[in-house]
Amino acid sequence: MRLRWIVGGVVALAVVAGAVILAILPLRQAPSASGAIEITASMAGFEPQLIRAKAGEPVRLTIINPDSPYHTDGGGWHQFRIEALGVDARVPPRARREVTLSSLAPGRYEFYCDVCCGGKDSPAMRGVVEVRG
């Protein structure tokens, strides 16, 4: 009886560990596939700050963070957040992350970073995805 509990516990732990690994894996993906729009997020801000896209087509973005992990402001992390779309990608120092925005309606989608010095109050740490029909 006790053995069944232990076996059950080990199986449950393995399932949880597997789920955690699967959840973390996409965050660690390094190089961006060709064709993605590259956006650099550094202490100097976003570059570029204006992304143009066509409505109804997926927009593939690669957010590149060239900053050092030894940065005193937030440890060099940056964020790519679009509140209107529920997008919140955190990019560790010296890493990159893929973000795909699928079939957007025409409009202006503001993005910002709020995890580094200045955060979203800094005019450089924000930008716009402009989608036209």
Chain residues binding Cu ion by CB under 5 A are 78, 113, 116, 125
Question: Locate tokens 């699928």: which residue?
Answer: 102
Minimum separation from the CB atom of position 65 to Cu ion (A): 8
Minimum separation from the CB atom of position 58 to Cu ion (A): 25
Which residue, 32 or 66, is less far from Cu ion as judged by CB?
66
Nearest-5° Cα angle at 128, 38 to 108 = 130
Which residue, 78 or 96, is less far from Cu ion as judged by CB?
78
Which residue, 109 or 112, is less far from Cu ion as judged by CB?
112
Helix (H) or strand (E) holding 16: helix 2-24
Minimum separation from the CB atom of position 118 to Cu ion (A): 8
Rounded CA separation 101/80 (Å): 12
**Helix (H, G, I), strand (E, B), or coil: what is residue 57?**
coil
